[in-house]
Amino acid sequence: MSRPEGKYAWTVTVGTKGQIVIPAEARELFGIRPGDSLLMLGDEKQGLAIPRKNLILSMFSHVFGSGAAGKETEEEEE
């Protein structure tokens, strides 16, 4: 079975301290580096989501105006 373009799925294991390891392919694809802060969102019915950091910065920029967050997002994408 082929996957839809741009859609991915990985399995992770939760350790005894509640930690998960993000698969290398996912880290490379989404530019996640050691020390990065990620936002984990949860919905009791739909599950968990860990959006890409520049997506969150962009969202905050749109909500709160084009301040420093918008500038960081543009710099990261270059």
Count of structural domains, the chain: 1
- Read off the pTM: 0.63
Does residue 49 form part of some domain? Answer: yes
Does residue 24 form part of some domain? Answer: no
Summarize pLDDT for 7-62 with one digit per residue, the tens: 999 999 999 999 999 999 999 998 899 988 888 889 999 999 888 777 777 878 88
**Which phi and psi (to 5°) does residue 59 adopt?**
-60, -45
Contact 56, 49 (CB under 8 A): no
Structural domain boundaries, residue 55? 39-77
The C-alpha angle 19, 57, 24, rounded to 5 degrees, equals 40
Does residue 28 form part of some domain? Answer: no
Structure tokens given for 32? 């996640």
The three-state secondary structure class of 49 is: strand
Higher pLDDT, 23 or 74: 23
Residue 65: the pLDDT is 80
Does residue 44 form part of some domain? Answer: yes
